[in-house]
Amino acid sequence: MSYTVNDLKPGMSHTIGKTISEADIVMFAGVSTDTNAVHLDEEFAKTLPFGGRIAHGMISASFISAVIGAHLPGPGSIYMGQTLRFTAPVRIGDTVKTTVTVKEVIVEKKRVILETICRVGDTVVIQGEATVYKP
C-alpha cells in the first residue's frame, strides 16, 4: 500500500521480520565491500568481545528502508535523513523485526518523521528516527 502525506497520522506503524542467514552476510559483504572479519571469520570474531561472528549492522538498518519504501509511507518515499543507534549485535539465525511508526506529519512540507526500531526478540538492536519526503 502507498499512502499520501495527507493519509498519514501519528501512531500508524508497520512491522516486517527477516531471519539473517549466512548468505545474507556474504552477499551484503560483496555488495557493500565491507569485508570486516568480525562478519566473515568465526575464528577471528571469537577473539572479540561478542565471542563470534555478527551481522553487519547496516543489514538490519536496511530493513528500515524496506519498510519505508514498500509499506509506510510506501512507494515514492524519499529518505532525507536517518539516525541510528546500534545497541546489540545480530547473529546468523536471529530474526530481526523492524517497526516504523509515524511520529509527526508536516503536510505543508510533505515530510514525515518516523520512529525506527529493530528488535531481536525483546532486545532492541537498533533505534533511530527517519525523516522522509512523501509526495
- Spans of the chain, pLDDT less than 50: none
Q: Give the model's pLDDT for residue 104.
A: 98
Report pTM: 0.94
Q: CB burial class (10 A; 0-12, 13-18, 19+) of residue 53? A: buried
